[in-house]
Amino acid sequence: MTGGLLGRLPDEATELIKLLESAMHVRERGAEEIEDVDVRRVGFVVSTRVAGKAGVPPELYVVAQNGALGAELPLEAWIDGDGLIRRIAYEVRLPEQRDRDSGRLILPRHTVRGVYDFSEFGGPL
């Protein structure tokens, strides 16, 4: 699991939430609790074309550049009883990366999972 994407793309969480408007193949994944709040966990996919236009997640660029981009990006959202997103997550499988000149392996195939948790809606700053 990875973290620290906020420094690379400060509006990533906002853009991921906007992707809910384009959700396809939505499926309920059960009830859970996040910080004492009951939530529904929902899985869905969005078109990688739609996600790419939004610029999220940034890892899609690497996948597309290597010709390994599929048609859909899987995501999950945890939604409370008021319809507020308490968590949103995505997972991108990245191909191996090699040095262009030498062909030396730099990174093996790997998975990046981005997770954003949200709390204190309407609270003081």
Note the pLDDT of residue 64. 64
- Which residues of the chain register pLDDT less than 70? 1-9, 62-69, 123-125
pLDDT digits (tens, 9 = 90+) for 68-83: 567 788 999 999 999 9
Note the pLDDT of residue 4. 44
CA-to-CA distance for 91 and 73, rounded, in angstroms? 8
29-57 as b/e: b if 16+ CB within 10 A: eeeeeeeeeebebbebbbebebbbebebb
